[in-house]
Amino acid sequence: MPPELIFEKARPGRRAHAQAPAPEAAPPADLPAELIREQDARLPEVSELDVVRHYTRLSKLNFSIDTNSYPLGSCTMKYNPRGCHRLASLPGFLDVHPAAPDSAAQGLLECLYELQEMLARVTGMEAISLAPMAGAQGEFAGVAMFNAYHRAREDYERDEIIVPDAAHGTNPATAAMCGLKVREIATGKDGDIELEALDAALGPRTAGIMLTNPSTLGVFERRILDISKRVHAAGGLLYYDGANLNALLGRVRPGDMGFDAMHLNLHKTFSTPHGGGGPGAGAVGVAASLKPFLPVPLVEKMGGAYRWRSEAPQSIGRLAANGGNIGVLLRAWVYLRMLGREGLRRVSDHAVLNANYLAFRLAEAGFDLAYPSRRAGHEFVVSLKRLRDETGVSAADFAKAMLDEGFHAPTVYFPLLVPECLLIEPTETESPEALDALIDAMVRIRDQALSDPEAVISAPHRMPIRRPDEVLAARKPDLAYGPALES
């Protein structure tokens, strides 16, 4: 059974007495009575120790990088250095009000400016805006800039964006948000895009193409230079989804591949924490032709001083109430300075080494790789179709059994075009021993699937809960403690 809810621990009149200010001598006399609450908000009445103990106990029900390996494809769950957290949490950074004059925030602005400059060098882009608060916002900024670019050239016909079928779901969702129609193109048998399909999709209505490289299949698009030539020849632009940059860091730059805009998932490649689902940061980079359209604000250096610049006449505008997820950006800055120029390539070297080692050993152990003829990037796809056909054990079942083994499940059923797939990304911070343990666990589960499939189909057995009833959760949504909803 899960712990009680914090509301169930409450006792009327109990307080965390040290935390609230002393009561005012008199209630506010100048506010009309109709504006005032009749009863205090229904928050739990608990002591400080109640709170600390309750949430500490809840924390222990989570897997996390600090406690478990996370071979979660496309998510780059590498170690989040404690030093990054500690230094970004210095009071001198935390206490800066967003309206503080630039002169009182020079240290913060210097870090952000340095991050902009370093990310531009790392990606081969002309300029970077740190404003996007997540990868999806970076994508939005990129596609909105494509629209702005075409419009500025008085080219109003371009209302289509090309997206490969293997793309992240945010790509087509972003295109739709920007008012563009999505043209999906097929991936070939070898994992590369089919050029005939690309050519058929390209035309005067092409605003651009959104690509991840290596793709979500874990393989490098070998004809990328040819693709970028064809897209540019058709008047379109190329967007690089930076989700998989960990495979190329310090070795290959999106700018050199011909991309016009891209985002970086700083919470992946640059090791800022996932925090149970955010906050992320999706800094966006552009080639010179798109620089005037970057989202604001940007950090500028003038003379020896740094400043926020919010005015840019052709900018697509503002994406955040302030300058973006600055605390996250500071963590990325610390991480990048710790890696240094020599550390960048070591990240991709070891991420790719780990992925290839894992793929090779799993193939050796009898698992089916989706693209056995290809080198893995930093991640790779295993298909469990054969196992499911033989035993009835699905990729979802297999994933649940991995939880029992102490490993977070890989990404399942994505990319959508490989049946019963696991997308596995070990990252560079897992040791060879951890990889061997993962292989052993996967072999054990596979063997159990063959000998006693029910045991796997009913997994997990050793987690805090068994599988939740998601159908019930969706049919009768219980989203808040208290009286049931009528929806």
Partner 1 sequence: MPFIPHTESQVQDMLRRLGADSIDDLFGEIPALLQRAAPPEIPAGLGEAGIGRIAKARAGRNHPLLCFAGGGAYEHHIPAAVWDIASRGEFYSNYTPYQAEAAQGSLQLTYEYQTMIAGLTGMDVANASLYDGATAFAEACLMAVRCNRQSGSRRIAVARTVHPAWRAVAGTLLRGQGLKFVEVPLDAGGKADFGPLDRDSGDGFAAIAVAAPNYLGGFPDFGAWRARADKEQALLVVGVNPVALGMLRPPGEWGADIVCGEGQPLGIPMSGGGPYLGLLACKARYLRQMPGRLAGRTVDSAGNTAYALTLQAREQHIRRSRATSNICTNQGLMVTAATLHMALLGGEGLRRVAEACHARTVELVDALTAIGGVRRAWDAPFFHEAVLCLDRPVAPVLAALADQGILGGIDISAEYPELGNALLVCATEMRTARDIQAYASALTGIMRSGAGSGEVRHAA
> Rule CB under 8 A: which of 429-468 touch partner 1?
429-432, 458, 460, 463-468
In whole angstroms, the minimum distance from the beta carbon of 277 to partner 1 comes to 4
Cross-strand partners of 380: 424
d(Cα 337, Cα 267) in Å, to the nearest integer?
A: 16
Residue number, 68 or 289, with CB nearest to partner 1? 68
Segment 43 to 62, residues that bind partner 1, using CB under 8 A: 43-46, 48, 51-52, 54-62
In whole angstroms, the minimum distance from the beta carbon of 338 to partner 1 comes to 5
Residue 136 makes contact with partner 1 by CB under 8 A: yes
Residue number, 235 or 282, with CB nearest to partner 1? 282
Residue 129: count of CB within 10 angstroms of its CB: 30
Residue among 128, 140, 158, 227 that touches partner 1 (CB under 8 A): 140
Residue number, 158 or 274, with CB nearest to partner 1? 274
In whole angstroms, the minimum distance from the beta carbon of 227 to partner 1 comes to 12
Residue 91 makes contact with partner 1 by CB under 8 A: yes
Scan for tokens 């990325």, then name that residue.
Answer: 332
Residue 392 makes contact with partner 1 by CB under 8 A: no
Give the DSSP letter string of 71-119: -BTTT------HHHHHHHT-HHHHT--TTS-GGG-HHHHHHHHHHHHHH
**Quick one: which segment of 166-174, 200-208, 286-294, 438-446 binds partner 1 (CB under 8 A)?**
166-174
Residue among 116, 151, 155, 175 that touches partner 1 (CB under 8 A): 175
Whether the CB-CB separation of 373 and 190 falls below 8 Å is answered with: yes
In whole angstroms, the minimum distance from the beta carbon of 418 to partner 1 comes to 16
Residue number, 24 or 154, with CB nearest to partner 1? 24
In whole angstroms, the minimum distance from the beta carbon of 202 to partner 1 comes to 19
Residue 1 makes contact with partner 1 by CB under 8 A: yes
Q: Which of 266, 383, 385 is nearest to 330 (CA)?
A: 266
Following CA atoms 74, 61, 325, 180 in sequence, which dihedral angle do they give, to the nearest 10 degrees?
40
Segment 189 to 218, residues that bind partner 1, using CB under 8 A: none
Here the tokens at position 121 are 């060098």
CB crowding 304-339: b at 16 or more within 10 Å, else e: eebbbeeebeebbeebbeebbbbebbbbbbbbbeeb
Residue 115 makes contact with partner 1 by CB under 8 A: no
**Quick one: which segment of 286-294, 335-343, 386-394, 441-449 binds partner 1 (CB under 8 A)?**
335-343
In whole angstroms, the minimum distance from the beta carbon of 43 to partner 1 comes to 5
Binding-residue total with partner 1 (CB under 8 A): 204
Interaxial angle between packed helices 326-364 and 432-451, expressed in degrees from 0 to 180 and rounded to the nearest 10:
60
Whether the CB-CB separation of 344 and 246 falls below 8 Å is answered with: no
Task: Mark residues 237-256: x for contact with partner 1 by CB under 8 A, - for none.
Answer: -----------x-xxxx--x
Q: Which of 260, 290, 165, 180 is nearest to 215 (CA)?
A: 165
Residue 30 makes contact with partner 1 by CB under 8 A: yes
Here the tokens at position 200 are 């058929």
Residue 94 makes contact with partner 1 by CB under 8 A: yes
Residue among 106, 289, 314, 448 that touches partner 1 (CB under 8 A): 106
Whether the CB-CB separation of 211 and 164 falls below 8 Å is answered with: yes
User: How wide is the angle at C-alpha 213 spanned by C-alphas 212 and 214, nearest 5°?
Assistant: 120
Task: Mark residues 8-27: x for contact with partner 1 by CB under 8 A, - for none.
Answer: -------xx-xxxxxxx--x
